[in-house]
Homo-oligomer: A and B are copies of this chain.
Amino acid sequence: MARFEGALARASAQHGLVPPAHAELISRVCEHARFDAAQLARDGRSGTLAIPFVKELTAQVAAVSPEAAKHLHAGATSQDVIDTAAVLCIGPACARVIDLTQRLGSAASELARRHGRTTTAARTLLQPALPVPFGWKAAVWLSIVGRSMKELRRASASACVLQFGGPSGTLWFFGERGPAVLAALAKELALPASLVPWHSARDRFARLGAELAILTGAAGKIGRDVSLLMQREVREAAEGAAVGRGGSSSMPHKRNPALSVLALEAAYRAPGLVATLLGQLTSEHERGLGQWQSQWFTMRELVCAAASAVSAMAEVLGGLEVDSSAMQSNLESLLEDHAQDSFGSASAMIEAALADWASASSPGKAP
């Protein structure tokens, strides 16, 4: 929030709306400003944190220069600060989630490559179907992860744009210089500019939220499969036995799918959070009642859910213990009457999934 106010002062100065010395002073105070979050929350009785925040920051600037303080936040409104600050947090957080997804996909692609001839039973409706390569199973996981990573990257880039419109959204305060100040402010914050304000256009947050939930669900899907394969009666794969993982407070001998549980836990929570964002699209007029005020919070929950789920499953797939002899012996006892000499198009499918992944994970090179 302070970064926004400092950048606004500088951008305004570039276009003659704030004396350069004042902008520099504001900028410096913003850079080092510290806030008592609990106190701001207590003061936030006006329904938005921006008001006590601006008041407190103004006091900190005024302590150095009362004249400069008059220019702080000039032309902006509460939602500009809140939404832009949210975006300044969400963007890098999504980048981190994408990094984790890259790790998850790499681990899945490694399994797809390594286990192209490791035979296991396909299971449909939890019943054994036909033999398939375990690597093909990993390739299906990979196909979801690849698409989700690509779409998350796109949705994050689309959603993480500057919000700047002032009280009513038209940049009234800046007269003719609105677009120029907006462009300068975007540049200061290294954010894409969107001239049409999105104070009451929450579609991009909803879309980004949906992508985060889809990625979380992708991790949950893998966690579901791993936890099923890890059943003692199946024992075909297992989470690696890292220190402190998967223990039990009452049965030390147990080995639990603890990381898969993290992915599934997140996958249970994400859909409802997205429903919240989708239900907030119908905001009133130029600034709604009860939507944007807490979307930063809902987005935070979604980013954290995705990070937790993806990180957990990247660790799982990276160290997955695949028991190919258990796969073989299960298959024999389950499907004795089935010919097992053909995997159909499994190899071609694995190749296709790996090619898609290569394209998704190297966006710079792909068309």
Contacts and interface: CB of A to CB of B under 8 A. Distances in A.
Contact of A281 (B200, B214, B283): B214
A128 interface: yes
A2 interface: no
Interface in A246-269: 246-251, 253-269
A291 B221 CA distance: 12
A203 B130 contact: no
State the number of copies, please.
Answer: 4
A198 B218 CA distance: 13
A47 B261 contact: yes
A319 interface: no
Given A128-B232, A265-B293, A214 B278 contact: yes
Contact of A143 (B122, B201, B262, B290): B201
A127 B337 contact: no
A355 B279 CA distance: 28
A167 B231 contact: no
Interface in A268-289: 268-276, 278-289
Given A168-B132, A330-B233, A257 B78 contact: no
B169 A250 contact: no
Contacts of A31: none
Contacts of A276: 268-269, 271-272
Nearest to A277: B271
Interface string A45-89: 111101100100000000000000000010011100100000000
Number of chain A interface residues as a range: 35 or more
Contacts of A168: 122, 124, 129-132
Interface of A: 43, 45-48, 50-51, 54, 73, 76-78, 81, 122-132, 136-137, 139-140, 143-144, 147-148, 151, 166-175, 178-179, 182, 195-198, 200-201, 203-204, 206-207, 210-211, 213-214, 217-218, 220-221, 223-225, 227-228, 230-234, 242, 244-251, 253-276, 278-291, 293-294, 298, 330, 334, 337, 342-346, 348-349, 352-353, 356
21 contacts: A78-B250, A122-B286, A125-B284, A125-B289, A127-B230, A129-B254, A144-B201, A174-B345, A178-B344, A182-B345, A195-B348, A196-B356, A214-B278, A217-B282, A221-B281, A221-B282, A225-B284, A231-B231, A262-B290, A265-B291, A268-B280
